[in-house]
Structure 1
Amino acid sequence: METIHALLHPQAYRFIDQSSLGPTFSALQSFAMDDALSISVGEGLSPTAARLWVHHDTVVLGIPDARLPYISDGIDFLKSEGYQVIVRNSGGLGVVLDDGVLNLSLIFPDSKEVNIHEGYDAMVAFIRSLLSDLTNEIEAYEITRSYCPGTYDLSIHGKKFAGISQRRVKSGSAVQIYLDVSGSGAQRAFLLKRFYEIGKRAEKTRFKYPDIDPTVMASLNELLATDLTVEDVRDRILRKLYDLSGKVVTTPLEGEEIEWFNKRFEQMIQRNEKALDRLK
């Protein structure tokens, strides 16, 4: 626990809020942003960073999803439902993002003393603390029939409202969580259930894709009988960062960071074009 305590109590947090940039803000930009910040934090040019981001009607697929036997049909279905589709560069499988889903990246300096589990554990501790006045029943274990199931799924009474992934770049580590704040968790899950049904059909595959049960997913508002908004949770996060470090700075990307972002963004665009071109 000491390492987790140290991770969440830096001398300062750098807070970057991209939660209200609107529908034109691409998820490709988000992943490039976290890569740039990971390099900067890892090299000691930036303090530990916390970045908030929202993307409208976007399905972010994992690399294994792109290997579904009928992936092009699956993507056509998502697009027909009004969703943009990208393939991300961190682990995991498909997730649904919309204006009721708040994403948080905590970007820590990597070191030999900090293993990958401690980054995940730090995020779990952060969210439990963030919502401690509303619930003390948040559990972290795999909800196997959710979308993008993983060891660090966050749930209340067996219903998942958040999933965590992690990406390490050079000497920095971006721990990313999506929080279903409002709306219907089951509706989001049903969208991906249909995607996998269309993309896999009855084919046998080496990779085990999730058999999604929409009833195991819910938003925080559904679970807690609250009327939280993304903005409410944003404000909670900012207050929590002040509580944990006593100092929050809001500097945008500058200097070399902009170059790193541009390079990573270009790489993300090219990688997606290649991944999606193969499916045509």
Structure 2
Amino acid sequence: MNHPMLDIQHIRKINRSNARDSEIIESFAIDDTLCLTASHLRETAIHYWVHKPTVVLGIPDSRLPYLEDGIEFLNSQGYDVLIRNSGGLAVVLDENVLNISLIFPDAKRYDIHDGYEAMVSFIKRIFENKNQTIEAYEIERSYCPGTYDLSIGGKKFAGISQRRVKTGSAVQIYLDVEGQGDERAQLLKSFYDVALKGEDTKFKYPNIDPNVMASLGQLFSQKLTVQDVMNQVEQKFHNQGIEIEERPFSDQESEWFDNRLELMQQRNRRINK
């Protein structure tokens, strides 16, 4: 799949794409656990996760001057709220947003940008049959803007973050698959309005323009589901001769998971009071 980090023969799969069965705080603990496994076993993994309506805040968002008011607004719109342990700012998740984590071993062998570049290469390969040019550059007025925003025709459909634990690296991407990307953006525009109330802050929060965001379904002008995307991913693995193995956590991994889950819960106690 072009990037050397994707030159693999075997990948482990963790599938948590049923939003009804998944707690989002567990998804981040799973990624940390898989990073620890990668550190010990040098194993590459893919983790699919989908959740009920949730706004995932970045650490800078936790310092918004009127954060509690912002959270109350999101709750009133039917969204749960979580502070994640990887970089970036607020993003919107729901049943039509697919999160994919690629977990790589030997992260210290690579520059941190390699992880991002590997994910960009991966996504371009997944959608290469759509005859659309996917670009990676910052969409400044999107939510959670970053150097590795993925867009088509100037409209962002995905953002990438990365977290390293020991020598494992979890490169995480959210893909707006179905629905209205601009409506998700409007939600976060309103959140920042409420949580800032026009106050000047040292940190520059995004001035969101909903018109610069869209879902893949909108951009491809076709019906596309989360399951369709996962099927395309695994078809690409099959075409590359990559073996996919799905297996539950070992006892050691379960212990790591419990520890990482507690850390996530500690991070989020402030907003869950």
Q: In structure 2, list runs of 5 or more residues that go unmatched.
A: none
Range moving further from structure 2, 186-195 or 245-254: 245-254
Q: What corresponds to 1:276 in structure 2?
A: 271
Offset of 1:233 from its aligned partner?
0.5
Name the residue aligned to 2:58.
62
Show the counterpart of 1:8.
6
Q: C-alpha displacement at 1:10, in angstroms?
A: 1.3
> Alignment partner for residue 29 of structure 1, among 26, 34, 48?
26
Identity over the aligned pairs, expressed in percent? Answer: 55
Shift of 1:270: 1.5
Whether the aligned pair in 1 keeps the contact of 2:86 and 2:161 (CA below 8 Å) is yes
Please name the residue that 2:256 is paired with: 260
Are residues 1:50 and 2:46 paired?
yes
Q: Report runs of 4+ in structure 1 exceeding 4 Å deviation.
A: none
Q: Does 1:173 align with 2:169?
A: yes
Q: Secondary structure at the match of 1:43?
A: helix
User: How many Å separate the matches in 2 of 1:140 and 1:235?
Assistant: 23
CA distance in 2, matches of 1:195, 1:17: 31
State TM-score, norm by structure 1: 0.94
Provide the C-alpha distance between the structure 2 equivalents of 1:252 and 1:24, rounded to a whole number of angstroms.
Answer: 15
Whether contact under 8 Å (2:132, 2:152) holds in the other structure is: no
Quote the offset at 1:248 in angstroms. Answer: 1.0
Distance in 1 between residues matched to 2:78 and 2:240, nearest whole Å? 39
Q: TM-score, with normalisation over the residues of structure 2?
A: 0.96
Which residue of the partner structure matches residue 184 of structure 1? 180
| 1:18-37, Cα deviation, whole Å (9 max, x unpaired) | 101x3352211000000000
**Structure 1 residues 58, 152: CA separation in 2 closer, same or farther (over 3 Å shift)?**
same
Contact 2:8/2:242, CA 8 A, preserved across alignment: no
8 Å CA contact retained: 2:3, 2:117: no
- In the other structure, the counterpart of 2:192 is 196
- Distance in 1 between the 2:30 and 2:116 partners? 20
Name the aligned partner's letter for residue 212 of structure 1.
Answer: I
Given that 1:10 and 1:245 are in contact with CA atoms closer than 8 Å, whether structure 2 keeps it comes out as: no
Q: 2:266 and 2:227 mapped to 1: Cα distance?
A: 33
Post-superposition CA distance 1:82-104 (Å, at most 9, x none) = 00000000000000000110000
Distance 1:119 1:190 in 2: 30
- Tell me which residue corresponds to 1:152: 148
Matches within 5 A, 1:93-112: 93-112=89-108
Query: Residue by residue, what CA displacement relative to the aligned partner does 1:121-178 show, whole Å, maximum 9, x if unpaired?
Result: 0000000000000134000000000000000000000000000000000010000000
Local SS of the residue matching 2:214: coil
